Amino acid sequence: MKSYSNMKVYPKNWETSKKSVLKNWIVRYIFIDPKGVEQEATFKGMNHIKDHALRVQETKRLIEDEIYMLERGYNPKTKEYNDNSGLNLVNPSTLFLTACNICIESKDCVETTRTDMENSMKHITKYATKLGLHMKQIKDITKGDIKQLLLYMKNDKHSNYRINKTKSHLSACFTFFTELDIFQVNFVRGISKLPHESAKKEIIRTQEDWNKFHSIQHMNLNVYMFLYIFLFSGCRFEEMAKVKKEDVELEKSIFWIHLLKGGKHTRAMRAINLNSFKYWKIIYDRAKPGQYLFSHNQLPNDVPVKANSLYDLSAKYLRKAGLKITGYALKYSYLNLVANVYGIATAKELAGHTNEKTTKIYAVDYEMQQVEKNKNIDICI
């Protein structure tokens, strides 16, 4: 059954009147969604062309493109392709954007990673459409296509960070396609990253700022207890959101978190710092068996809270306290202190990092501290 009506261009004299280029053109049609509901759909994309004959030509091409996509399950309202089989499957003939979306949907990752990849897909969709890649089957996508997409982003003044992030997410998709034998190698890895230097991370360094942090206890004690626990945990919000009462062993001053890295689920032990122990005990004693410790209102509950909610709430109260930092800046602040006092190896173990290079991203003052220490090396020769 045909899922769309005939496409009509407005103004109606678009093909015959040269003066019509002074107006904005628009294509309208009726789209029938998978539930059988009729909805009006529209699109443009030709109005930047001022020559009448060229605009007519481009409009016809856009209509052909729209029909091509509609006949392959494209939904103009969701901007996605309907999977008529009921299964999310990728084969060499799957359209490029559809294949990427299926990869992201099926990827076993934490919530924030999936959200980040979905944000990148907005850019990928925009520039793939501009380049006509949205009509290419995945098997026909080349390294040059992906490079052109990234160059288009560069020309549109996207930051090197955003372009590199988009490339990284595309590479993750093409690893998936390579594992399906659609490609022999992941050629996206061979595309060079653009130079990017991260901005200096704002963290808590002074006693004045630590006093501001402690002032949160007078605003919302539950939030303060959670932030205090999070500060000394070395964990991520995703990991803290999933901690249940059974994951805590107060008598041993340890708790367990669930990690998801590289598509693998693991359970890892973390220390309950002596400074935060009293707050762990308060929350633990409030919780019933099976409850998540840090749920809505930072209280135990049967239903877990989303990591983004913890992130947003943390930022809100840190701003109220006069600190221009995010919740994750607390992790940076703590690991920075640990690295400076106990060394980078201890900070690495505390954070559960696999290499010191990652830990040094958090320990923002570590290299400077090492240089300062090296100035006092006293060797007489």
Q: pLDDT of 364-376, one tens digit each? A: 666 776 666 676 7
* Higher-scoring residue by pLDDT: 378, 135: 135
Rounded alpha-carbon distances, angstroms, from residue 264 to 100, 106, 258, 261, 267: 21, 14, 10, 5, 10
pLDDT attached to residue 86: 45
Residue 121: both structure tokens together:
């897909």
Show the domains of the chain with their CATH numbers.
8-80 (no CATH), 88-190 (1.10.150.130), 207-371 (1.10.443.10)
* % residues pLDDT > 90 (the chain): 54
Burial of 273 (0-12, 13-18, 19+ CB in 10 A): middle
Q: Distance between CA atoms of 111 and 170, rounded to whole angstroms?
A: 18
Least confident of 65-74, 249-258, 274-283: 65-74
pLDDT attached to residue 33: 83
* Higher-scoring residue by pLDDT: 108, 302: 302
Report yes or no: 317 and 266 within 8 Å, Cβ to Cβ.
Answer: no
Number of H helices, E strands in the chain: 14, 8
Element (DSSP H or E) covering residue 16: none
Q: Distance between CA atoms of 103 and 110, rounded to whole angstroms?
A: 14
- In this model, does residue 222 exceed pLDDT 50? yes
Say which residue the tokens 């633990």 belong to. Answer: 284
* Average confidence (pLDDT) over 49-68: 91
- In this model, does residue 85 exceed pLDDT 50? no
- In this model, does residue 9 exceed pLDDT 90? yes
- In this model, does residue 252 exceed pLDDT 80? yes
Select from 253, 224, 196, 249 the least CA-distant residue to 330. 224
Position 35 confidence tier, pLDDT thresholds 50, 70, 90: confident
Three-state secondary structure call for residue 9: strand
* Average confidence (pLDDT) over 122-150: 92
pLDDT attached to residue 105: 83
* Average confidence (pLDDT) over 184-192: 95
SS3 content of the chain, % helix, strand, coil (to 5): 55, 10, 35
* % residues pLDDT > 70 (the chain): 91
Residue 38: CB atoms within 10 A of its CB come to: 11
Position 134 confidence tier, pLDDT thresholds 50, 70, 90: confident
Report yes or no: 133 and 142 within 8 Å, Cβ to Cβ.
Answer: no
pLDDT attached to residue 11: 96
Rounded alpha-carbon distances, angstroms, from residue 229 to 5, 109, 283, 369: 59, 25, 10, 26
For residue range 297-347, list pLDDT tens digits in order.
889 999 999 888 999 999 999 999 999 988 888 888 888 888 877 777 877
Phi-psi region for residue 206, left (φ > 0), alpha (ψ -120 to 50) or beta? beta
- In this model, does residue 264 exceed pLDDT 70? no
Give the chain's mean pLDDT.
87
Q: Distance between CA atoms of 56 and 47, rounded to whole angstroms?
A: 10
Three-state secondary structure call for residue 351: helix
Backbone angles phi, psi at 266, to 5 degrees: -135, 160
Residue 98: both structure tokens together:
């559809």
